Amino acid sequence: MLLFNFREIRRHFSAFQIGIVTKLLILHIVQKITFNRAQGVIYLTEYGKKQIGHYLKKSPNSVVVAHGVNAQFQLPAKTQFEITHYTQENPFVIIYTSQIALYKHQVPVMQAVSLLKNKGYPLKLLIVGEPYTGTKIFNETRKRIDPQERFIGYLNHASQNQLVQLYQKADLFVFASSCESFGITLLEAMSASLPITCSNRSVLPEILGDAGVYFDPENPSDIATTIEKLINSPKLRTNLAKKAREKAMQYSWQKCAYETFSFISKVYNEWHKQK
C-alpha cells in the first residue's frame, strides 16, 4: 500500500530520504503496469482493492483474500487488573511490534508513554522491530526521552516463539501505523487476546473493527488519551481482548490458501476459454 499512498511517500521526501522516494515511485509505476496487465488480482482487504483500483486503467478480475494467523498465537485471555496492581518494579507492559519506519510512528508512541509516565503511571513500553526508514529519529527520540532505558525497551528482532512469549507477558498492544496492506502483527495480537489501541488510518479499522480503541497516530496526546482510557478500565480491556480474539478466529491460513487457489483456477479457466 505504501506504493499507492502519496501522503506517505511525501513523508519520506520531507525526511530527506530521496533514495527511498525514488525507489517507491519506480515501484509504483512498475506495480501499476503489472496490475493493468494481469488477468486477475488478489487483494488482502477491501480497503486495498478500493485504493489501488483508483490507479488502474482497467478493472481486472479480482478478489479479496485475507491473510491468516498462525495457531501458535492463539493465547488465553489474561486476567485484567486495576492499574494500582502495578508498580515501577512490576510495570504495566505495552508492546508494539513492527519495523522501525516513519509511517509506523514509534516516535509519537514513545512520546505518549512518556506523557503518561510523567503523570505517575507505572508503565513500560517494549518496541520490537527491525530497523528501517525511521531508525535515526527513533534512536534519537528514545535516547532523549529515556536515556537510562528505564521504561522504553527495544528488540530489533524476535522469532515467532519469542513473540508469543512477549505477548504472554504484555498487558496491552499498540499499533500506530498509518499505511498497511493488512497488518499481520495486529492480527497476531488480536489472536493473542490482547487489549488493543490502534491507529485510525489505512486498513486497520477494517481488520480490528470494534475490538479496539483508535487514535490519530501522529498525535502523542491522542495516543496517550486512548492508552490511559484502557489502563484505567480493566473491564474495557477484558471486553476488547475477548472481541479481538473472536474476530481473529475468522482468519486462517487454510481459508486463505483455499480462496487463493480457487481464484487462480477460476482466472486460468476463463483465460483458457478465451484462447
Kindly report, residue by residue over 100-139, the tens digit of the pLDDT: 999 999 999 999 999 999 999 999 999 999 999 999 999 9
Both 182 and 224 in a single domain? yes
Both 19 and 139 in a single domain? no
Both 190 and 166 in a single domain? yes
- pLDDT of residue 266 exceeding 90: yes
**Predicted pLDDT of residue 57:** 81
Determine contact, residues 124/170, Cβ cutoff 8 Å: no
Both 202 and 76 in a single domain? yes
- pLDDT of residue 60 exceeding 80: no
- C-alpha closest to that of 4 among 23, 28, 40, 29: 28
DSSP assignment of 149-212: -SSEEEES---HHHHHHHHHH-SEEEE--S--SS-HHHHHHHHTT--EEEE-STTHHHHHTTSS
Both 51 and 128 in a single domain? no
Both 75 and 197 in a single domain? yes
Residue 168 is part of which domain span? 71-248
- pLDDT of residue 215 exceeding 90: yes
Both 5 and 43 in a single domain? no
- pLDDT of residue 275 exceeding 80: no
Average pLDDT, integer, range 38-62: 90
Both 217 and 232 in a single domain? yes
pTM value is: 0.94
Give dist(CA 149, CA 180) in Å, integer: 29
Both 218 and 137 in a single domain? yes
**Predicted pLDDT of residue 273:** 87
